[in-house]
Amino acid sequence: MRLTLIHPCIGRRVGDRSYVRTWQMEPLPAATLAGLTPRKNVEIRFYDDRLEDIPYDEATDLVALSVETYTARRAYQIASEYRARGVPVVMGGFHPSLCPDEVAEHAEAVVVGEAEETWPRLLDDFRHGKLEKFYRGEGRPSLEGVRPDRSIFRGKRYLKVGLVEAGRGCHFKCDFCAVQTVFSASQTRRPVDAILTELQEVKHTSKLIFFVDDNITSNPAKTKEFLRALIPLKLRWVSQASINTAHDDEMLDLMVRSGCQGVLIGFESLNPGNLAAMNKGFNLARGGFEAALANLRRCKIRVYGTFVFGYDGDTPESFAPTVDFAIEHGFYIAAFNHLTPFPGTPLYGRLKDEGRLLYDAWWLDTSYRYNRIPFRPRGIEAEDLRAGCIEARRRFYSWPSILRRGFDPVNRANGFMWRNFYLINAMHRGDVSLRDHYPLGDESWNGRFIPAH
């Protein structure tokens, strides 16, 4: 059996074969799927649509794509190319879990939810000529058998960051978050020994580990157990965490001792009303942002802060104070994004009920581009929201801001992180204009969507 795994890109402009560099990390879902594939009599090929041309005419029996909402249109283009050649296509990932019926129009089989239990059964069904349309997992599967096969990445040019999954999901119920929708506000974790074994292999080729967990501290007791086991490995690592972590002294101590260099934290908004609307009022607990940041600074943990604009309390005046806040607190990097209603989320349902969505499905509409606002805001015009987010990024990644933040005592506390600070910030600076109006799907594709049977 010949199996082809494909990681679709977000899109591509006509005549442009380059890709935004900060999007080019190893696609861990593909390696995870390869690791779940029984290797007896199975030949696996992997192609990354961001880096290389897909050889559609290469002989294969089955094609599998992991699809996110932003990559859905491109995934459907790829599927149509294979369908025109008589090759069946399977799709799984977040978007198929959020929109299974839509995806079923473009795939012979759809994996809804996590693949740990359903993927082997799907392959066996395919071998016996009885592929089903939907494969739905029952509840949350154990992650004990997760063993990513990174051999599929050989010869491909990715950022020198090792991606490792320790846990999956998050206990919080943020209004805009597709993660809590798919995983029902729960988290599962891999056995510590399995993660440590994987890290021993990855650390030889990666000077920085990125734990891709949606919220690595979602289960504090389990996280602390894991961090204690991590200390002897002497790693440098970063991950995503909720802000309540900054008020747990034991957690902070273990993070530092285990090699934590920084955390991505969703600050989201400086407006308490907005935080309440997005179900993130907990961000302001125990002294709020100032107290949390003081604790992180004391431990020399760098911050990647993310902010979202477009909730009803936002106005054109919301951007400048937010950027000031991020610069004054010396954030290592930061993101300033417009609110995006992902299908299946409480946010999407509310905006749809209020008649405020501007597209039936923005991720498929040919007029939609990256940075375009897919809904009607209340306190600010859509174009002002788009322009405000872009200007916030330009200001934060201006050279005066980069130089000021570069000399922040926390950002230069570690030589490795300080050297890479300038490279990473310069990369983000360049991406501000490159990402603007980026298309979803390949604009040069002249085919038509061929429906799946």
CATH number of the domain enclosing 366:
3.80.30.20
Closest to 177 (Cα-Cα) out of 218, 146, 226:
218
The residue with tokens 């409480």 is: 346
90 pLDDT tier (thresholds 50, 70, 90): very high
443 contacts 13 by C-beta, under 8 angstroms = yes
Is 442 among the domain residues?
no
- Say if 92 falls within a structural domain: yes
Predicted confidence (pLDDT) at residue 192 exceeds the cutoff of 80 = yes
pLDDT tens digits along 118-161: 999 999 999 999 999 999 988 888 999 899 999 999 989 888 89
81 shares its domain with 203: no
Q: What percent of the chain has pLDDT over 90?
A: 84
Do residues 164 and 127 both lie within one domain? Answer: no
Strands 209-211 and 237-240, how do they pair? Answer: parallel
Looking at the structure, do residues 129 and 169 belong to the same domain, yes or no?
A: no
| pTM value surpassing 0.85 | yes
Residue 22 has a pLDDT of 63
Task: Tell me, yes or no, whether 328 and 396 share the same domain.
Answer: yes
Per-residue pLDDT reduced to its tens digit, 359-391: 989 999 999 999 999 999 999 999 999 999 999
pLDDT band at residue 314 using 50, 70 and 90 as cut-offs: very high
Q: What distance in Å separates the CA atoms of residue 142 and residue 167, rounded to the nearest whole number?
A: 11
pLDDT of 34 over the 90 cut: yes
**In this predicted model, what pLDDT tens digit does every residue of 169-178 receive, in sequence order?**
998 888 998 8
Q: What is the mean pLDDT of residues 237-248?
A: 95
Band (pLDDT 50/70/90 cuts) for residue 395 is: very high
Looking at residue 348, its pLDDT comes to 95
Same domain, 330 and 188: yes
Do residues 135 and 121 touch, judged by C-beta distance below 8 A? yes
Q: Which of 303, 329, 203, 218 is nearest to 258 (CA)?
A: 203
Domain identity same for 230 and 118: no
What is the 8-class DSSP label of residue 70? G
Q: List Cα–Cα distances, 412 to 80, 184, 297, 298, in angstroms.
A: 49, 39, 12, 14
How would you list the strands of the sheet with 237-240, edge to edge? Answer: 162-164, 209-211, 237-240, 260-268, 302-309, 333-338
Give per-residue pLDDT as tens, 321-339: 999 999 999 999 999 999 9
Asked, for residue 440, whether it belongs to a domain, the answer is no
Average pLDDT value for residue range 101-120: 96
CA distance 202 to 279: 36
- Of 394, 342, 319, 24, nearest in space to 180 by CA: 342
Q: Which domain holds residue 300?
A: 160-435
Q: How confident is the model at residue 21 (pLDDT cuts 50, 70, 90)?
A: low
Domain count for the chain, please give it.
2
Residue 81 sits in the same domain as residue 164: no
Q: Chain-centre distance of CA 78, in angstroms?
A: 21
Confidence of residue 264 (pLDDT cuts 50, 70, 90): very high
- Burial class from Cβ neighbours inside 10 Å (0-12, 13-18, 19+) for residue 443 reads middle
- Of 108, 142, 176, the residue that ends a domain is 142
CA distance 140 to 431: 37
Answer whether residue 20 shows pLDDT above 80: no
From CA 403, how far away is CA 25, in angstroms rounded? 26
Q: What is the pLDDT of residue 150?
A: 94
Q: Are residues 194 and 45 in the same domain?
A: no
**Taking 90 as the threshold, does the pLDDT of residue 198 lie above it?**
yes
CA distance 397 to 123: 47
Tell me how far apart the terminal alpha carbons of the chain are, to the nearest angstrom.
22
- 291 and 427 in a common domain: yes
Is there a single domain that holds both residue 293 and residue 364?
yes
| Domain final residue, candidates 114, 142, 170 | 142
Q: How confident is the model at residue 15 (pLDDT cuts 50, 70, 90)?
A: confident
Place of tokens 């926390």: 410
CATH code where residue 44 lies? 3.40.50.280
Task: Quote the CA–CA distance of 108 and 104 in Å, as a whole number.
Answer: 7
Q: How far apart are CA 33 and CA 189, in angstroms?
A: 17
**Residue 254, H or E segment:** helix 249-257
Domain end position, chosen among 142, 177, 208:
142
In a domain, 445, yes or no: no
301 found inside a domain? yes
Residue 448 lies in a domain: no
- Poorest-pLDDT segment among 19-28, 118-127, 352-361: 19-28
**Side-chain half-sphere exposure of 190, counting CA atoms within 13 A:** 23
